Homo-oligomer: A and B are copies of this chain.
Amino acid sequence: MQSEPILQDLIQALRCLPGVGQKSAQRMAFHLLERDRQGAFKLAQSLAEAVDKIGHCSVCQTLSSADICGLCSDDRRDQQLLCIVETPADVMAIDGATSFKGVYFVLNGRLSPLDGLGPADIGLDKLVDRLKMGVIKEIILATNPTVEGEATAHYISEMAKKYSVRATRIAHGVPFGGELEYIDSGTLSHAFSGRSEV
């Protein structure tokens, strides 16, 4: 087809979005050009600005446009409570859903020797420096309940022990609204072993 190269470029560029294949990208391109040029213009600006300005917080490693992010520099938050998560998206999820008022530390990954990811690659040296400062009283491990996530949580809890900092792990069990019948066996056995007094 003697097609418009600029349009083809746009379709190709849209495919960098997660979950967007050729068909969805075409649909998006036509939608933007035919029905929402203002939205497309705004999106182009927002993308350029975000790529240009957003880096990582030098304290907690989350995404931030400032050297120190809004969460770390907020003095109403409890600097003695440190929640460890794998990604900036986890920070957003936890901060949106819970009343946690401590600070975060984002690993931007997890220990994964097979992929060549060691402690330094996920910023654990930075975490050690922070533990040494003696401000932190409790570390809350909120890595994902996967093999690597659990291993990472275990590794960090050992680190915390060395500096006499309390380490806790978020609870894993049957999710609210879940039906026992359809819960996988791993979760169910975890829910039993982790039962608590009512």
Contacts and interface: CB of A to CB of B under 8 A. Distances in A.
B33 A50 contact: yes
A153 to B, nearest CB: 21
Copies of this protein, total: 2
A16 B43 contact: yes
Interface of A: 1-4, 6-7, 9-10, 12-14, 16-19, 24, 26-34, 36-37, 39-51, 53-54, 63-65, 69-71, 74, 87-89, 92, 95-96, 108
Contact of A43 (B26, B34, B47, B63): B47
Contacts of A1: 71, 92, 95-96
A interface SS class: helix
A1 B96 CA distance: 7
Nearest to A28: B17
A37 B6 CA distance: 21
B13 A71 contact: no
Contacts of A28: 17-18
A31 B4 contact: no
Contacts of A69: 4
Contacts of A50: 6-7, 9-10, 29, 32-33, 40
A64 B32 contact: no
Nearest to A17: B28
